[in-house]
Chain A
Amino acid sequence: MEYEAVIGLEVHAQLLTDSKIFCGCSTRFGAAPNANACPICLGMPGVLPVLNRKVVEFMMKMALATNCSINGQNVFARKNYFYPDLPKGYQISQYAQPPAEHGHIDIEINGDKKRIGITRIHMEEDAGKLVHDEVNPSSYVDVNRCGVPLIEIVSEPDLRSAEEAATYLRRLHEILVYLEICDGNMQEGSFRCDANVSIRPKGTEPFGTRAELKNMNSFRNVQRALEYEIKRQQYILEGGGQVIQETRLWDDSQGVTLSMRGKEEAHDYRYFPDPDLVPIEISDGWIEDVRKTLPELPLEKRERFIRDHGIPTYDAGVLTSNRALADYYEEAVRLCGKPKIVSNWVMGDLLRFLNEEKRDIRECILKPSDLAEMINLIENRTISGKIAKEVFEDMYRTGKAPRRIIDEKGLVQITDEEALKKTIGEIITANPAQLEQYRAGKEKVFGFFVGQVMKVTKGKANPALVNELLKKMLAG
């Protein structure tokens, strides 16, 4: 029997607000343990949460970017469970009446567009971290992360394969980073994903029993874990067994999912509206104000680059994968008007250098205006394409303007016909044997003469002019 997978993803994204969701503490990652902590973070008796409005705005950005409808009134709820990294004994989250619902994003699978539903988006606070000392058996609590704002984005069970799930996840990630509301760092946990997965005989409607997968901290692991889990469930069903509802952890080193807890051990979170917080009122005016701040989203940008710049789909995909990179490309295009040439330089040399150094485009000292200038200098034959490679690398390393590099290194292309004629004449005179061969019909020797000219001119000779003059002069 052929099976198909039914997958829904729950994504937790840490929001890039300066302060936490319910107190004024910093959200900065990497501070000393418990440096970003106050009585509210510590769940001390009597202190109370006050909502950071920025968090609501960030949530609204994601809601609008994923075509959700925003509820004018929504409430915070307490999710009750005991764990040492949860100082209050409950997490402030949202349950009934979520702020955003019924959205979708489009993904592309093998060239086909597919629409994936977003069930809901809600706000909540993050929990802290436990640090275990194995040598001297004890555990420590670091509450720095307590109260860092999160949004949870829950998809509909619309995903049918591990590949679709990974693609959806990448698109979601891209949107969050584009909106500049999440840094998207999966290793540091600012973008986390849990998956609900079940399988059913292809062509049937009812869902199978699902497993919840946790602990997948990269796109690759999400795909691997889902592939493994789908196979595992298939193996069970084909053997006549039954999948049980449980939570499973992905074990990266073994490449398997392992049972963490069964349905019976599942928590009863006893959600109820948090009496310490008043309902959040979101007016239409507020929604419109936030909508005005939305940037162009990756998919729209991609389509515009293909349509208006005439660059290939592949190029558009690479260039829009990162908002800063797309901005860089677009600025250079605006200044020189040569989209494909800019794309070639950005996707070629620039990304290669950045990748070699594992640097972000935002750290790049080569300005897009200088790249545009350099392209103009090639176009007007001030430098050759070959020289440009050298100029580009220098620009990348030093941040100097192309003009300055060309002047300092004397790289201006030789387009003076008389000067070149003189040089070529001397070379022909100095190489009578090769001249004879050429005239005897050995066309390959032409390349030797080009090489000699470039060597003498240190590559600065205009190649087209060299070709033209050589042909004439070798012919005699």
Chain B
Amino acid sequence: MELHQLTIHELQKKLRGGDTTSVDVVESVIRRIDAVEDRIHSYITLMKDSAREEARRADEEIRKGNARPLTGIPIAVKDLICTKGIRTTCGSKILSNFIPPYDATVVEKLRDAGAVFIGKTNMDEFAMGSSTETSHFGVTRNPWDLDRIPGGSSGGSATAVAADECIASLGSDTGGSIRQPAALCDVVGMKPTYGRVSRYGLVAFASSLDQIGPFTKDVEDCAILLNVISGYDPRESTSVQVEVPDFTSFLSEGIEGWTVGIPKEYFIEGIDPEVEAAVRKAIGVIEGLGARCVDVSLPHTEYCLAVYYIIAPAEASSNLARYDGVKYGYRSKDCRDLMEMYKRTRSEGFGMEVKRRIMLGTYALSSGYYDAYYKKASQVRALIKRDFDEAFQSCDVIMTPTSPTPAFRIGEKMDDPLQMYLSDIFTISTNLAGIPGVSVPCGYTAGGLPIGLQFLAAHFAEEKLIRIASAYEKHSKIEKRRPNL
């Protein structure tokens, strides 16, 4: 095994035991990036020089006995998480020259934990997409099949982990943007509870749905990274003051005696038979671990997509109003007046999908339509949340496929936004309800494409997700493959 293939916890041991150095780990990762990046395109911005410098300092700290959870470990960050002094583009032309003068809270936390920043990962423009095809900086390819999409919007964060171009990464999840690419790239991806991880410094797509979360090679790493990034932040009003347990302490707890809910609404027509078969097989594994699997009902599931595509664009239309060419970012040249500057800057600076959603959202909030769209959607959202609250009265976790299909071909759904939106059908409700969810690898199709399994839990019950995901990971007996690059 090469250093770049290892996990956080494996590297922690090697680094602390003096078996390797952070400089060696970073060089190994950089060599891997040099070898595969032009085929995959995980990154928008690489930070090789500063990573090498951070690695040297990390090695000093380790020598002094000051190793922290992530000391010396190369981490990648989605390019909508602000990094002080490092360009943060959101995959958009309109922010192609934006250099934040501040770090996001999660970046500060990673820094405090000793992480080495290796780069900023590619994404759908402003996180609007399920395939990482809408980035101004080009598409990201799935390491398992370079003709296919990696999922999205955090596609680059998923592929960087899947192709060993980093050890772990952060993404953001507004409707599945961590879990769906994790499923399609065969890695672990978690969306924590809304309010668990500070959104300060996360460029907003839909503020009431966005949440930062980890991409890792296994569940143990997921727990380690979750420990680092969780916690109340006085700079973020929706961040919640709840205790953060040591998530790694739940890894071996098991799920004996648990009740696991299987929502019948999630096994719909249109679900890929191989995906369904893999998930059905997983039910057997879970039962083998001493849990009881029961049917649960989430009756408002059919409205999730509609509700999401009103609330998310509505918030986005307002969140993206600030990109007007006045203060920072792209500004169209030689405009005669203010109105022309606004129009041309935004027409030239935003891509098609972003414009589509700004128009959708603007319409949904317009006077005369607000009650029928935004207000109604907010009411239905409350019902969706109630569905989950009620379901969790009778079960510990809910288990579903992460994505209805494995990775599709690049370009396949670009002209059909509705088909594209359906790829998040199993992940969107989580964000609407604000609950946590995790996707773990659950096998491969006959064609060798990864399949993901999703676990959902009640608000702030991430430890249950860690328990079941870890137990499943250990006992599913899925032979671990590596993409052939």
A residues neighboring B (CB under 8 Å): 39, 42-51, 78, 80, 82, 84, 87-90, 139, 141, 268, 270-272, 275-278
Contacts and interface: CB of A to CB of B under 8 A. Distances in A.
Contacts of A42: 327-328
A89 B362 CA distance: 13
Contacts of B314: 272
A476 to B, nearest CB: 93
Given A46-B82, A277-B237, A270 B102 contact: no
Contacts of A139: 338
The SS class assigned to the A binding surface is loop
Interface stretch (B198-206, B283-291, B293-301): B198-206
A355 B296 CA distance: 79
B90 interface: yes
Nearest to B321: A89
Task: Find the residue from A44, A46, A80, A271 having the highest chain B CB count within 10 A.
Answer: A46
Contact of B238 (A46, A87, A276): A276
B374 A45 contact: no
Interface string B223-259: 0000000000011111000000000000000000000
B321 A90 contact: yes
Residue among A39, A89, A141, A270 facing the most chain B CB atoms (10 A cut-off): A270
A264 to B, nearest CB: 13
Nearest to B207: A275
Nearest to A96: B375
Contact of A48 (B90, B206, B235): B235
A88 B82 contact: no
A46 B204 contact: yes
A453 to B, nearest CB: 78
B342 interface: yes
Contact of A80 (B81, B82, B321, B326): B321
B374 A272 contact: yes
B367 interface: yes
7 contacts: A43-B322, A44-B327, A50-B236, A89-B324, A268-B366, A275-B206, A277-B237
Select the residue from B90, B326, B367 with max chain A CB neighbours within 10 A.
B326
Contacts of B90: 45
Contact of A141 (B202, B204, B206, B327): B327
Contacts of B88: 45-46
Given A44-B328, A89-B321, A270 B365 contact: yes
Residue of B101, B208, B327 with most chain A CB atoms under a 10 A cut-off: B327
A48 B236 contact: yes
B69 interface: no
A42 B318 CA distance: 16
Given A44-B328, A90-B318, A268 B367 contact: yes
Nearest to A49: B237
Contacts of A39: 100-102
A45 B203 contact: yes
B319 to A, nearest CB: 9
A88 B200 contact: no
Contact of B237 (A50, A80, A82): A50
B200 A47 contact: yes
A270 B322 contact: no
Interface string B82-95: 10000010100001
B315 interface: yes
A190 B312 CA distance: 37
A80 B321 CA distance: 8
A275 B88 CA distance: 23
B421 interface: no
B370 interface: yes
A276 B321 contact: no
The 4 closest A-B pairs by CB, nearest first: A89-B321, A275-B208, A270-B365, A275-B207
Interface of B: 80-82, 88, 90, 95, 98, 100-102, 104, 199-204, 206-208, 234-238, 314-315, 317-318, 320-322, 324, 326-328, 338, 342, 362, 365-367, 370, 374
Nearest to A143: B327
A189 to B, nearest CB: 22
Contact of A46 (B200, B326, B370, B374): B200
Given A46-B80, A88-B321, 4 more contacts: A43-B327, A90-B321, A272-B315, A275-B315
Given A87-B326, A272-B374, A278-B237, A46 B100 contact: yes
B394 to A, nearest CB: 30
Nearest to A266: B367
B318 A82 contact: no
B101 A88 contact: no
Nearest to B126: A45
Contacts of A272: 314-315, 318, 365, 370, 374
Contacts of A43: 322, 327
A39 B201 CA distance: 10
Contacts of B318: 78, 80, 89-90, 270, 272
A42 B204 CA distance: 15
Contacts of B204: 45-46, 276
Nearest to A81: B321
B100 A44 contact: yes
B30 to A, nearest CB: 28
A278 B326 CA distance: 29
Given A44-B328, A46-B100, A278-B237, A80 B202 contact: no
A84 B338 contact: yes
A46 B342 contact: no
A275 to B, nearest CB: 4
Contacts of A80: 317-318, 321, 365
Contacts of A277: 237-238
Nearest to A50: B237
Contacts of A276: 204, 207, 237-238
B317 to A, nearest CB: 8
A270 B367 contact: yes
B367 A46 contact: no
Given A268-B366, A272-B314, A45 B95 contact: yes
A271 B315 CA distance: 11
Contacts of B321: 80, 82, 88-90
A87 B237 contact: no
Contacts of A47: 102, 200-201
Contacts of B236: 48, 50
